[in-house]
Amino acid sequence: MSDEHSLSAGTDIPRVTFKTMYATMLRIRKFEEKVAQLVSLKEIICPCHLYIGQEAIAAGVCASLKKDDWVFSTHRSHGHYIAKGGSLKALMAELYGKATGCSGGYGGSMHLAAPEIGLPGSSAIVAGTVPLAAGAALAFTLQKKDSVAVAFFGDGAVDEGVWYETLNFASLKKLPVIFVCENNLYSTHMSLADCLADTSIYKKADAFKMPGVRIDGNNVVEVYAAAQSAIDNARQGKGPTLIECMTYRWLGHVGSSDDLDKGLRSRAELEDWIARCPIKTYEAFLLKQNIMSRTEKARISKEIDAEIEKAYIFAKESPYPDVSQVAGKVFK
Amino acid sequence: MRELSYAQAIHEALEQMLERDSRVLLIGQGVTSPWYVGATTTGLVERFGPERIIDTPVSENGITGAAVGAALAGMRPVLVHPRLDFMYYAMDQIANHASNWHFMFGGQMSVPLTIWGIINRGGEQAAQHSQALQAMFMHLPGVKVVMPGTPYDAKGLLIASIQDDNPVIFIDDRWLYDRTGDVPEEVYSVPIGKGIIRRSGNDVTIAAASYMAGEALAAAEILGTQDIDAEVIDLRSIKPLDETILFESVRKTGRLVVADGGWKTGGIGAEIVARVTEKNLKYLKAPPARIALPDTPAPASSALEECYYSKARDIVTVIKQVLKEGR
């Protein structure tokens, strides 16, 4: 993995995409920092699995997608929702359990949906959405659409049997699905090496005759390029790809703590990854290459701050769901 | 009217829905096999092609998830599990995903999926090839469960399941596959959540579904020769339950016997007896009774199977007991 962002990986990336990816990453980072603060203040009660440190993956993959491509998310869902274009107001309101939330207060942090932007939902069951993405891809094929489906999942999903079932089926049927593993090295409290006999997740693709690549998940240009290539293949009917993105979550498994006090990982390891911050290195690259000016950078940052403040106020002021609606909408 | 077998009725429902609705596909183990699902899918792959008639590897949870995903994306899949026993593998996708999806996102996305599970027991198939798991599925809030007992209902309920915007578990029974009955040629549906009175009577209500509804009717005929007038309700759907038909019948007869092919504890009978007594205690002339499997797995030996599975004669015995105990 390189800490340097090389332009060679992204020579055909439109200038606007470079800036969009930066804004997306920063939007996720700042939003999650706000949520962490609200969680520690117990303003937000719902368990939140924060995405800080992993922003380049959602931003890089979603920048390569069209609106009618679908992404399926996990318990760590905020980054995917934001990168696909979800409203921060509806997201914050959902975290507050408000009626104006993106799932009406019935889902919470782990169950976000915004079908209008291609997010049909996120599941808190590890690997749960992996087969759903394959199924959506099957539907797109039968409907003769050129849409693709993306399954985001963590390294923990690779412990699950359904993951293997799905990769086999997707490759067997050459489905237009991209399997994006966000390998943040930990499955809740357990390190990868304590879970997998072979920690090279991307190599498992070989067993399914599917391309598998391991990339620097903290390098958004590399993520974009890998995703673009996988998506192109999928659209052309060449079947699925497994992309293993190496990354790290700065906070603990859930909530605003960093879990260092629990002895689950070392401060040195965390600091090493913070030094490889996906946003800082990318920002330096954009400034150096004159893709983004300092003025633009300041403007983007200010706009995001204002957007998050609005989302926070909206969530606070929104009503809770009416208790008469506790039964919700079980059936359509 | 034209007669078809129960298996032919299922075949016709599949064929007609595949023909008229391009969103329908059939996916699961054995849909192109000569024996997995009886004759219910014969010729479908030749007619509709392997893109829509998808035989799959033995990956129950993965394939169920794929069917849920396809349903979310606008298809109307019929997913077959040729034996309910193997559906335990798929419980995560059924219970955590299909059942919750509409509720969990505030009603934004529904899962129009038919999960067709086949009860296939007897013939010394033993504990892991004989199970009737309707009560497991009845417990889930977000799925409907139907259990047709006649060829007419098999076709009509399968069509209704496919047309429904929600996950429906359609459970049929290989013991019914050769039964024949009137089946209209046109496309029709039987409403989900509505039972039907198969025989009117005044002395006792027998509630049952699927194969046991037939046994209940046979029991009622035997009882009729002994001056006992039983009313038989074929539930057809076990979720939602048709409370109206049950309550009206019990208010008339004052006695309730439920016959089910699943285990007794936490079973269909337990649920029906609870619901009926909660709201109709004053009408009851005797304690309700349940006919169900004992709380043991299925044995292999046919000598043991013979007494393990309940039949009409067992229903007759129980009803006579209920009539003795009554006021």
Cα-Cα-Cα-Cα dihedral of A227, A228, A230, A235, to 10°?
Answer: 130
pLDDT tens-digit readout, B292-313: 999 999 999 999 999 999 999 9
The pLDDT of residue A11 is: 59
Looking at residue B238, its pLDDT comes to 97
Whether B26 shows a pLDDT value over 90: the answer reads yes
Q: Which residues contact A181 (CB under 8 A, 6 or more apart)?
A: A153, A154, A155, A157, A158, A201, A202, A242, A243, A244, A245
How much is the pLDDT for A2? 44
Give the residue-averaged pLDDT of A285-307: 96
Burial class (CB in 10 A: 0-12, 13-18, 19+), A3: exposed
B97 is catalytic: no
- Tokens representing residue A76 in the block: 């760590």
The single residue listed with the structure tokens 């470079």 is A18
**Nearest CA-CA partner of A125 in B142, B105, B91:** B91
Instruction: Give the pLDDT mean for B263-279.
Output: 98
Residue A9 lies in a domain: no
- pLDDT given for residue A6 in this prediction: 53
CA nearest to B107 within chain A: A329
Residue A304 placed within a domain: yes
Mean pLDDT, range A302-330, rounded to an integer: 97
Q: Are B67 and B168 in contact (CB under 8 A)?
A: no
End-to-end CA distance of chain A: 48
Which residues in chain A have Cβ-Cβ distances shorter than 8 Å to B25?
A: 142
Q: Mark yes or no for CB contact A103/B108 under 8 Å.
A: yes
B263 beta partners: B293
End-to-end CA distance of chain B: 44
Give a yes or no: residue A4 inside a domain.
no
pLDDT at B120: 95
Asked if residue A1 is part of any domain, the answer here is no
- Rounded Cα gap, residues A10 and A4, in angstroms: 13
Question: pLDDT band at A263, cuts 50/70/90?
Answer: confident
Same fold, B3-182 and B196-325: yes
pLDDT in tens, B194-237: 999 999 999 999 999 999 999 999 999 999 999 999 999 999 99
Q: How far apart are CA B172 and CA B179, in angstroms?
A: 12
Residues near A272 by beta carbon (within 8 Å), at least 6 away in sequence: none
Both tokens of residue B224? 């009729």
The amino acid that residue A40 corresponds to is: S
CATH value at residue A216: 3.40.50.970
Residue type, A34: K
B66-88 residue pLDDT tens? 999 999 999 999 999 999 999 99
Q: Which residues pair with B54 in a beta bridge?
A: B27
Interface test with A, best of B18, B56, B86, B108 (most A CBs within 10 A): B108
Give pTM, 2 decimals. 0.96
From B11, B12, B60, B305, active-site residue: B60
* Chain B residues lying within 8 Å of A103, measured CB to CB: 104-106, 108
pLDDT tens-digit series, residues B117-146: 999 999 999 999 999 999 999 999 999 999
pLDDT score, position A5: 52
For A132, the closest of B25, B72, B110 (CB atoms) is: B72
**Spatial separation of the C-alpha atoms in residues A137 and A234, rounded to whole Å:** 9
Tell me the mean pLDDT in the region B275-290: 97
Residues from chain A contacting residue B74 (CB–CB below 8 Å)? 139, 143
Interior/surface letters B264-276, b for 16+ CB within 10 angstroms, e for the rest: beebbbbbbbeeb
**Which residues on adjacent β-strands are paired with residue A149?**
A70, A177
CA gap B247, B240 in Å, rounded: 14
Phi-psi region of A209 (alpha: psi -120 to 50; beta: other; left: phi over 0): left
Q: Does A123 touch chain B (CB under 8 A)?
A: yes
With respect to residue A142, please indicate whether it lies within any of the assigned structural domains. Answer: yes
Helices (H) and strands (E) in chain B, counts: 12, 14
Question: Domain range for residue A187?
Answer: 14-319
* Minimal C-alpha gap between A8 and chain B (Å): 37
What pLDDT score does B38 carry? 85
**Which chain A residues are closer than 8 Å to B139 by Cβ?**
none
Give the domain B196-325 fold. Rossmann fold (3.40.50)
Ordered by start, the domain boundaries in chain B are 3-182, 196-325
Choosing from B124, B129, B139, B248, the catalytic residue is B129
Residue A327 domain-assigned (yes or no): no
Residue A109 has pLDDT above 90, yes or no: yes
- What is the Cα A132 distance to its own chain's centre? 16
Q: Which CATH number fits domain B3-182: 3.40.50.970, 3.30.360.10, 2.40.50.90, 3.40.1710.10?
A: 3.40.50.970
CB contact under 8 A, B25 and A142: yes
Looking at residue A3, its pLDDT comes to: 44
Chain B residues within an 8 Å CB radius of A121 = 72, 101, 104-105, 109
Q: Which of residues 51-70 of A touch B (CB under 8 A)?
A: 70
Q: Can B60 be counted among the known catalytic residues?
A: yes
Asked whether the beta carbons of B298 and B125 are under 8 A apart, the reply is yes
Question: With 80 as the cut, is the pLDDT of residue B327 above it?
Answer: no
* Mean pLDDT score, A261-267: 88
ipTM above 0.85, yes or no: yes
Q: Are A113 and B44 in contact (CB under 8 A)?
A: no
Looking at the 3D structure of chain A, how many domains does it have? Answer: 1
d(CA B185, CA B168): 23
What pLDDT, on the 0 to 100 scale, is given for residue A7?
Answer: 47
